[in-house]
């Protein structure tokens, strides 16, 4: 076991503070990674604050991890010390079930092992995420970071990137489609970039008038202020797809009305019950679909990283000293980040 520095929350109210954790001795299929960068996902905040009632403390968040390989287990052939690699939201799964067989480890029937707040399938120890100096991960769950990508700006691709890329790909977004992205934070700004790169006509729905010019820079053709009923009414019946990244309960009905017949609304932000209630008529009368989507599997995550390298797509990031993490959480809560914080993990040494 290796003792290393990390940042953890110890209760819903504690905030993040320095701690030490241990990383396991390498198993034959393991890759050891020194962490250089870790993105700050809104999910980290949900877990740190126990918003979903399932946090096991202490929790070391972080599932947008980029670093360098320092050592590999005896069976590892695909990675070598010095390689630049990524680790996303998953570190293991059953590897036997139908979804695992299809490379959809996120939908593992036994439940995948999450990078943090999970439980190791071999020794039942808690998993700890990327707000730490190093991580040890089975090689199947390690991604290659293409040379062409800036490593800090690539980190958020491991969650914000794949979560928006996967459903747009799965549902076949292509030129001619009208796609709306709801909310422009970490996920939303990547959704705009991907939908644009896939050839769609892209509209951002935002409650923040200050983001209009920004959205156009990100690749949106149009912007709708979602709190403006007139603007919402003007786009009724027009969208093939809507990608909803809003992290809190909100009225879905006006968005369902914005879908064309046969249109699909994809939820990625909301894990709660739908409040106010959904009007099923809005779906039935126009054969519209409401679906959800969870991150993406390992093969598709690699495909997304390669797509970003090919299309020159990166996250817009603000670099962060880990000592500022609690203030950064407050700024994320206020929607005040353009558009993802990435922690420079070298700053952990000084803590």
Ligand X SMILES: NC(=O)c1ccc[n+]([C@@H]2O[C@H](COP(=O)([O-])OP(=O)(O)OC[C@H]3O[C@@H](n4cnc5c(N)ncnc54)[C@H](OP(=O)(O)O)[C@@H]3O)[C@@H](O)[C@H]2O)c1
Q: What separation in angstroms does the CA of 17 have from each of 21, 37, 38? A: 13, 18, 16
Tell me the HSE value of 313 on the side-chain side, using a 13 A CA sphere: 25
Q: How far is the CB of 48 from ligand X (least distance, A)?
A: 12
Q: Which of 93, 226, 293, 302 binds Zn ion (CB under 5 A)?
A: 93
248 belongs to the binding site for ligand X (CB under 6 A): yes
In the range 116-175, which residues lie near ligand X by CB under 6 A? 159-160, 163
- 49 is a contact residue toward ligand X (CB under 6 A): no
Print the binding letters for residues 287-326 with ligand X: x by CB under 6 A, - otherwise.
------xxx-------------------------------
Beta carbon nearer to Zn ion, 258 or 332: 332
Q: Report, in Å, the least distance between residue 41 CB and Zn ion.
A: 3
Nearest-5° Cα angle at 309, 216 to 197 = 35
Query: Cβ closer to ligand X: 23 or 42?
Result: 42
Nearest CA-CA partner of 319 in 20, 38, 116, 4: 38
The one among 8, 33, 41, 195 contacting ligand X by CB under 6 A: 41
Q: Does 206 bind ligand X (CB under 6 A)?
A: yes
Residue 349 Cβ vs ligand X, minimum distance, rounded to whole Å: 27
Side-chain-side CA neighbours of 166 within 13 Å: the count stands at 27
How do beta strands 16-23 and 113-114 pair? unpaired
132 versus 226: smaller Cβ distance to ligand X? 226
**Stretch 153-212 residues interacting with Zn ion (CB under 5 A):** 159
Q: Which stretch binds Zn ion (CB under 5 A): 43-51, 117-125, 150-158, 286-294?
A: 43-51
- Contact, 195 vs 181, CB < 8 A? yes
The H-assigned helical ranges of the chain are: 42-48, 98-101, 151-154, 160-170, 186-197, 212-218, 229-234, 253-258, 280-284, 298-311, 325-333
Omega cis (within 30) before 276: yes
Using CB under 6 A, list all residues that contact ligand X: 41-43, 46, 159-160, 163, 183-188, 206-208, 211, 245-248, 250, 268-269, 293-295, 332, 335
Residues near Zn ion (CB under 5 A): 41, 43, 93-94, 97, 100, 108, 159
């Amino acid at each position: 076991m290796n003792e290393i520095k990390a940042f953890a929350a110890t209760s819903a109210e504690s905030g993040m503070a320095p701690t030490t954790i241990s990383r396991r001795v390498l198993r034959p299929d393991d890759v050891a990674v020194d962490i250089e960068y870790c993105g700050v996902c809104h999910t980290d905040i949900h877990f740190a604050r126990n918003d979903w009632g399932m946090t096991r403390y202490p929790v070391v968040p972080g599932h947008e991890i980029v670093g360098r390989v320092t050592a590999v287990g005896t069976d590892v052939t695909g990675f070598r010390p010095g390689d630049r690699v990524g680790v996303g939201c998953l570190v293991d799964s059953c590897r036997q079930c139908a979804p695992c067989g299809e490379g959809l480890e996120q939908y593992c029937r036994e439940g995948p092992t999450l990078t943090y707040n999970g439980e190791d399938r071999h020794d039942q120890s808690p998993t700890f995420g990327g707000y730490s100096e190093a991580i040890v991960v089975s090689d199947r769950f390690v991604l290659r970071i293409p040379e062409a990508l800036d490593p800090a700006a690539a980190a958020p691709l491991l969650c914000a990137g794949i979560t928006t890329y996967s459903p747009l790909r799965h549902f076949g977004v292509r030129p001619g489609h009208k796609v709306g992205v709801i909310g422009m934070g970490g996920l939303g700004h990547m959704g705009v970039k991907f939908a644009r790169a896939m050839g769609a006509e892209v509209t951002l729905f935002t409650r923040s008038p200050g983001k209009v010019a920004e959205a156009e820079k990100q690749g949106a053709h149009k912007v709708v202020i979602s709190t403006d009923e007139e603007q919402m009414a003007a786009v009724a019946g027009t969208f093939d797809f809507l990608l909803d990244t809003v992290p809190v309960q909100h009225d879905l009905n006006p968005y369902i009305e914005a879908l064309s017949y046969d249109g699909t609304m994809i939820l990625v932000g909301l894990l709660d019950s739908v409040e106010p209630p959904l009007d099923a008529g809005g779906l039935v009368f126009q054969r519209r679909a409401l679906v959800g989507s969870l991150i993406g599997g390992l093969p598709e995550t690699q495909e997304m990283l390669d797509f970003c390298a090919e299309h020159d797509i990166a996250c817009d990031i603000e670099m962060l000293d880990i000592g500022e993490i609690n203030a950064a959480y407050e700024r994320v809560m206020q929607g005040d980040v353009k558009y993802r914080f990435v922690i420079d993990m070298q700053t952990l040494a000084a803590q």
